Amino acid sequence: MSLTNEIVQQTLSQEFTPKVENFHIEHDMLAFEVKKEASFEVINFLKENPEMNFNFLTDVCGIHYPDYEKERQFCVVYHLHNWYDNVRVRIKVFLPADNPEIESIVSLFAAANWQERETYDFYGIIFKNHPQLKRILNMDEMKSFPLRKEFPLEDQGRTDKDDRFFGRTGPNC
Amino acid sequence: MSNSSNIKQVAPPAGYAGEGFFATKLSEVVGLARANSMWPLPFATSCCGIEYMATMAATYDIGRFGSERMSFSPRQADMLLVMGTIAKKMAPILRQVYEQMAEPKWVVAVGACASTGGVFDTYSVLQGIDKVIPVDVYVPGCPPRPEQILDGILELQEIVKNESVRRRSSQEYKDLLNSYNIK
Amino acid sequence: MSDLLLVPEKRFEKQIKETKEKDGIELSILNLGPTHPATHGIFQNILLMDGEKIIDGEATVGYIHRAFEKIAENRPFYQINVLTDRLNYCSSPINNTGWWMTVEKALGIEIPKRVQYMRVIIMELARIADHIICSSVMGVDTGALTGFLYVMQYREKIYEIYEEICGARLTTNMGRIGGFERDWSEAAWRKLDEFLEEFPSVWKEFEDLLARNRIFMDRTIGAGAISAEKAINYGFTGPNLRAAGVDYDIRVQNPYCSYEDFEFEIPVGQSGDCYDRFCVRNAEVWESMKIIRQALDKLPAEGGYHADVPDYYLPPKEDVYNNMEALIYHFKIVMGEIPVPNTEVYHAVEGGNGELGFYLITNGSRVPYRLHFRRPCFIYYQAFNEIVKGRSLSDAIITLSSLNVIAGELDC
């Protein structure tokens, strides 16, 4: 019998509750949350278990939720894909604001290497045991993490723009 | 050969012609020679680079304007065509390439991103290459059509033709380079 | 601090010293710099060389980082389309339609069949354009300029078709939520037919020029080979993966936009080397032409050129000037005040280089909360240093151009 979202949900709940929770289907994709201590375990299970067989890591990215509670400010999202049964799954791992650390999955999927570096570059999320966790897209000397919500989009050091002509006031930029 | 009346013949420079010779000012000759054989350094970074590839190709053919040989080495190039967005991470490299070029050299900023930063008013994009190197011609467009790029090069050719041979050693030029901290 | 966190030159200096002391061989560092004619786009590779052989290397990217994902958090949906153009700028319509499909998935909009077929036609045309550039530039990198000059004329013909449809040549900014901005003119259909008539013989000539050419084959066979398991582990998708022997194509795996109505094959290679990538891309151009012909034959007459979604699709100008309701819709759509649910959606399309994914999180406001682009170039370029280890420098150059790394997509 081929894999379906229900089977994935059932198997994961059986194996890993209470570390996995909040299963829901969004636009035909099963999405759930995993506690940060168990993220490597769960992804390893999804990859190695012969029934689950999620052989492809589609995407790793980060999100910053400044409005959530302090324990859930950062989120790392993994998209996995099982090519044989054509099932996709989205795993969200919430991280606290003061210590956004998570285990790296480079040993499982080599594709995660640069994607985790990009997430570190943009959000400052530390991936433990990553072979080379340094900035990738921004300049190496940069101190701040630009995709956090408090970081402004535009270069604040510019003197040649007159904001009056752009209808810009402080919070508008 | 066609007898079409929309072929514009370029007038020769002011000079004295005779049987088998033509005498004119040295600066005119130097200007003509430089203008009609500008070897570009295609500094193609993004989408404008693909329009430049179309300009290089057979339909728009930049070779007929003298730019037959693309010099990817800065030492042998006359004009630096900066095509595409320059990020702040790339700016020192652009500067280094510009400094390696031998005089006389000209810079054309092709595209909105090279001229002013374009659509990308962000923390990581340099808002115009004239923040790091002096620019002679700006070609707007996103990306500019090959005809626009050729127009920019023709504009540059006019500048080159009329440039004084003493310009590169003049105080004005030295001041310009000093304002960019280019030695 | 780990050695690997150092700048590559410093890291290699240690290795050079050690090799000199142990074996007496002097290694050298070569900077395959950001500005190099063979790197189509700006990305840098610092290579540790033993003469012509590559021992190790590290890629540094980010020289054209334009912060698309940050910009997208400040722009309404219509303004993000402009950014998606500039991802894989050789095939902008694929990125544009991929974005619109993501938004339509998030908003729950159904697209009429005719519009879907038109989207398929334009996406396949863009794929042909992308492969024209990649294959001909592979020729240029081995010294064969003729192919490039010859087939670029046909890329100009594709540009003319784009101009008829949306007005721009390269960065097309094509389409709207629900379809296209205007119905395709008679000239567009005619140019498309002419292209489909003229191009096959041209492409055959181009293939004959290089595909069995002894010099080209000697350069490319065996260079940059990668096995299927390694490719999957590194996240390869698209022609690079198919050249390694895996027939994974999103158009077949997760069909979108009515691709399931068309019959086409997925060309696969065997060893994943440069020659296979070249042949796979060439074969895909033939398949794309097949798909376009099928779409033209089966194109429904009814359906218009956009879905009936007045909340999201700009009303026609005559209505805006005469009708109050249309004026209000126009104002709201232009200001971005469109009804957007709170949702998360991931949608992937088969781009010129592989699985181009859009991960969109909306929170009801006029701008996305988070937009992440899953860029195939960024993911497969990681494998570059491993697949050229032990090979010569000229192999590295031809591998770079056969991987079709587009800098805009690499750095986003």
Binary contact (A155, B122; C-beta < 8 A): yes
Closest CA–CA distance from residue A115 to any residue of chain C (Å): 7
Max mean pLDDT among A153-157, B7-11, C290-294, C329-333 falls in C290-294
pLDDT band at B8 (very low <50, low <70, confident <90, very high): confident
A134 touches chain B (CB under 8 A): no
Mutation for testing the B interface, residue in A139, A145, A159, A163 having most B CBs under 10 Å: A139
CB nearest A158 (choices: B88, B89, B127): B127
Query: Domains of chain B (ranges plus CATH)?
Result: 39-179 (3.40.50.12280)
CB nearest C407 (choices: B45, B72, B145): B45
Q: What is the mean predicted confidence (pLDDT) over C377-384?
A: 92
User: How distant, in Å, are the alpha carbons of B47, B62, B141, C314, C402 from that of C407?
Assistant: 9, 24, 20, 33, 14
- Give the pLDDT of residue C91: 92
Binary contact (A153, C67; C-beta < 8 A): yes
Chain A residue with Cα closest to C246: A83
- Give the pLDDT of residue C245: 92
Please tell me whether residue A172 adopts helix, strand or coil conformation. helix
Binary contact (C74, A133; C-beta < 8 A): no
Binary contact (A154, B123; C-beta < 8 A): yes
Mutation for testing the B interface, residue in C7, C35, C89, C154 having most B CBs under 10 Å: C35
CB nearest C379 (choices: A26, A31, A115): A115
CB nearest B121 (choices: A138, A151, A154): A154
**Structure token pair of residue C78:** 């219509």
pLDDT beyond 90 at C289: yes
- Give the pLDDT of residue C1: 54
B88 touches chain A (CB under 8 A): yes
Q: For a pLDDT cut of 70, what percent of chain B falls above it?
A: 98
pLDDT beyond 60 at C42: yes
Alpha-helical (H) ranges within B38-90 are 47-56
Rounded to whole angstroms, how far apart are CA atoms C255 and B108?
45
- Give the pLDDT of residue B2: 61
pLDDT band at C377 (very low <50, low <70, confident <90, very high): very high
Closest CA–CA distance from residue A163 to any residue of chain B (Å): 13
> Where are chain C's structural domains?
3-60, 68-309+336-411
Binary contact (B93, C63; C-beta < 8 A): yes
Rounded to whole angstroms, how far apart are CA atoms C40 and C137?
9
Which residue has tokens 């005040």? C337
ipTM of the complex: 0.93
**Residue A42: which residues within 8 A CB-CB, separation 6 or more?**
A12, A16, A19, A20, A34, A91
Chain A residue with Cα closest to C232: A56
* Size of chain C, expressed as the number of residues it contains: 412
Q: For a pLDDT cut of 70, what percent of chain C falls above it?
A: 99
Name the nearest CA neighbour of A123 among A112, A111, A135.
Answer: A135
Interface of C with B (CB under 8 A): 33-37, 40-42, 62-67, 70-71, 82-83, 85-86, 89-90, 133, 148-150, 152-153, 155-156, 159, 169-171, 407-408, 411
pLDDT digits (tens, 9 = 90+) for C113-150: 999 999 999 999 999 999 999 999 999 988 888 899 99
C42 touches chain A (CB under 8 A): no
- Give the pLDDT of residue C39: 67
Closest CA–CA distance from residue B26 to any residue of chain C (Å): 36
pLDDT digits (tens, 9 = 90+) for A149-173: 999 888 887 777 777 777 666 655 4
A151 touches chain B (CB under 8 A): yes
**Residue A118: which residues within 8 A CB-CB, separation 6 or more?**
A61, A136, A137, C378
Binary contact (A155, B89; C-beta < 8 A): no
Binary contact (C372, A59; C-beta < 8 A): yes
Which residue has tokens 């993220």? A39
C1 touches chain A (CB under 8 A): no
For residue C226, give the amino acid letter.
Answer: I
pLDDT beyond 90 at C200: yes
Rounded to whole angstroms, how far apart are CA atoms B25 and B31?
10
- Give the pLDDT of residue A170: 62
Residues 106-125 of B with CB under 8 A from A: 121-124
Q: Which range among A104-118, A144-158, C200-214 shows the weakest confidence by mean pLDDT? A: A144-158
Binary contact (B145, C62; C-beta < 8 A): no
pLDDT digits (tens, 9 = 90+) for B154-167: 999 999 998 888 88
Rounded to whole angstroms, how far apart are CA atoms C20 and C14?
10
pLDDT digits (tens, 9 = 90+) for C208-224: 999 999 999 999 998 98
- Give the pLDDT of residue A172: 52
Q: For a pLDDT cut of 90, what percent of chain B falls above it?
A: 55
pLDDT digits (tens, 9 = 90+) for C142-159: 888 889 999 999 999 999
Calculate the average pLDDT of chain C. Answer: 91
Chain C residues near residue A113 by CB distance under 8 angstroms = 382
**Residue B43: which residues within 8 A CB-CB, separation 6 or more?**
B80, B81, B82, B83, B84, B94, B97, C35
Q: What is the mean predicted confidence (pLDDT) over A102-124?
A: 93
Binary contact (C170, B143; C-beta < 8 A): yes
Strand partners, A93: A34, A76
Which CATH architecture does the domain made up of A5-152 adopt?
A: 2-Layer Sandwich (3.30)
Q: What is the mean predicted confidence (pLDDT) over B52-69?
A: 90
Mutation for testing the B interface, residue in C42, C71, C134, C163 having most B CBs under 10 Å: C42
Chain A residues near residue B121 by CB distance under 8 angstroms = 153-155
A66 touches chain C (CB under 8 A): no
Q: What is the mean predicted confidence (pLDDT) over C199-205?
A: 94
Binary contact (A151, B123; C-beta < 8 A): yes
**Structure token pair of residue A34:** 């995993």
Long-range Cβ pairs for the range C301-305 (8 Å, 24+)? C301/C114, C302/C114, C303/C112, C303/C113, C303/C114, C303/C115, C304/C112, C304/C114, C304/C115, C304/C179, C304/C183, C305/C114, C305/C115, C305/C118, C305/C179, C305/C180, C305/C182, C305/C183, C305/C184
pLDDT beyond 60 at B1: no
Binary contact (C374, A137; C-beta < 8 A): no
Chain B residues near residue A139 by CB distance under 8 angstroms = 88-89, 124
B131 touches chain A (CB under 8 A): no
Q: What is the mean predicted confidence (pLDDT) over B24-30?
A: 90
* Size of chain B, expressed as the number of residues it contains: 183
Mutation for testing the C interface, residue in A22, A23, A26, A27 having most C CBs under 10 Å: A27
Please tell me whether residue C187 adopts helix, strand or coil conformation. helix
Fold (CATH) for C68-309+336-411:
Cytochrome-c3 Hydrogenase; chain B (1.10.645)
Chain A residues near residue C106 by CB distance under 8 angstroms = 27
